[in-house]
Amino acid sequence: MHEMTTNRLEAFSDGVIAIIITIMVLELRAPAQPTIAALVKVAPVFLSYGLSFLVAAIMWVNHHHLIHAVHSVTARLLWSNLYLLFWMSLVPFVTDFLGKNYREPMAVALYGLDLTLCSTGFFFLRSELIHQSRHDSSMTDYHERIQRKNAVSGALYLLSVPLAYVSIYASFFIFALIPATYFLPEKILAGE
């Protein structure tokens, strides 16, 4: 019964994330003119899509690993998952808004705010896993280590919100930095 419930949770979440990515790609519009200048003009839209696709892919991978560590599908876990999926479902909107208004602090701040709220969703889910693994110190330590990395990402995303009104480039740096850290070996991030 537990396995079936976990599989249903994962299948539902995977479906929602697949729809999110599909909506993002459907927002892309090819330029009317077949010229380099026309492509350059829509480059910010494609770049915001590429960044968001990478962020959504990292979220999906993290979510996949997180769900496979679930011991029990509790109400708190389900609601935390729905909370995360809600904020993830807004990624296509903030991606489109950012791509069309990439020089506007409000668009940059809104993108950062949504990613901050996605981070809080992962925080709530991981907190439930820490609670579920409280009798296994090695798993608790593992989840707490990942939770710290997620907290740093969330804090940086939160910093990008007010920073957008000071320097949108600093916010863009944060948006690129966080996904990059997920491709670094854990030993580098741990300072070993």
pLDDT digits (tens, 9 = 90+) for 145-183: 888 888 999 999 999 999 999 999 999 999 999 999 888
Domain regions of the chain by residue span: 2-189
Span 122-145, mean pLDDT? 86
Residues 27 and 175: their CA atoms lie apart, in Å, by 20
pTM: predicted TM-score of the whole model, two decimal places: 0.89
DSSP states along 3-42: HHHHHHHHHHHHHHHHHHHHHHHHT----SS-SHHHHHHT
Percent of the chain with pLDDT over 70: 94
Q: What is the dihedral of CA 52, 129, 148, 60, to 10 degrees?
A: -10
* Residue-level pLDDT at 28: 79
pLDDT band at 69 (very low <50, low <70, confident <90, very high): confident
Contact 7, 68 (CB under 8 A): no
